[in-house]
Chains A and B, each alone.
Chain A
Amino acid sequence: MARARKPINTPNSGMSPELKTMAAIAAVILIGVGYFLSADKPDPEGNEKKTAEVATGGALQPYSTGSAAHGDLAAKAVLVKYTDFQ
């Protein structure tokens, strides 16, 4: 920290849309619907789902809280993302 006459920067508000897309490259197979501190970003193009489908050849169905499909999944890399809606 330094003392200087410089505008105080705003904190990093989140990841870039590009990274968000890439985040689903393995497979979005479990989404934790939490409600925590900061805001997430929209994915209006559905890139997460599309990327997951491409990455898994369409064999893997993304699912969210409440699903009991663990036993049927064959992904080698499982991405869990906690998000909220604020």
Chain B
Amino acid sequence: MAESSAVASVAAQRQGKFFEMVDKLYSDTKKQDAATVRGYAKDLGLDLEQFDKDIKDPAILRDVRMDAEAGKKIGVSGTPSMYLNGKKISARTPEEMSKLVTEEIAAVDKLMESGKDVKTAVRQRVLANSSSAFLDYVVDRTPLEVDLSPPKPPAPPKPTPVDTNVYNAQVFPGDPVKGPLNAAVTIVECTDFQ
């Protein structure tokens, strides 16, 4: 479903409404069937005949799958993932983000002082911040081979085998416990603090 939504967003972009479509798609992530998405296109005033053609255009599907492949090439492991001039960023606050952006712009300005144009300077920063893969597959969009066959339906979940083992959970003096140490049933919970 996510892939068909990605295709719809790119189809909307062909009519200049990528971000508007993205907002619609996020308005209810559980409801992204074809009729709903077409309704979004109508709401946005898109040319529906063109939209219907575009969402079936293999070129769009190829672009979307190439994006996913490019993401794998550069190590994207989840979303949202953000890269600033090629550098993966994980700023936690707006202030941190502003600092990163300011630093990056300053670095580009410095490169431009030596006579480089902005595009060359940015490319140099991307290379310095990441790898040639980022430049190749994200910036330059070097074509990647992708399978354009329809997505396979998700495999039904395998039943989780019941663990019939019996564990002897020992409780030692000093452990954080509630209840008597000689209780007939002991529940052990493992947790962390994230």
A residues with a Cβ closer than 8 A to B are 1-9, 11-12, 14-15, 18-23, 25-26, 30-44, 46, 48-49, 62-67, 70-71, 73-86
Contact = CB atoms under 8 A, between A and B. Distances in A.
A65 B10 contact: yes
A15 B97 CA distance: 12
A11 B138 contact: no
B68 interface: yes
Contacts, number: 200
Interface in B6-50: 6, 9-10, 13-14, 18-20, 22-23, 25-27, 29, 32
Contacts of A2: 191-193
B56 to A, nearest CB: 15
Contacts of B3: 35
Nearest to B92: A19
Interface in B40-83: 59-60, 63-64, 66-68, 70-71, 76-83
A64 to B, nearest CB: 5
B13 A63 contact: yes
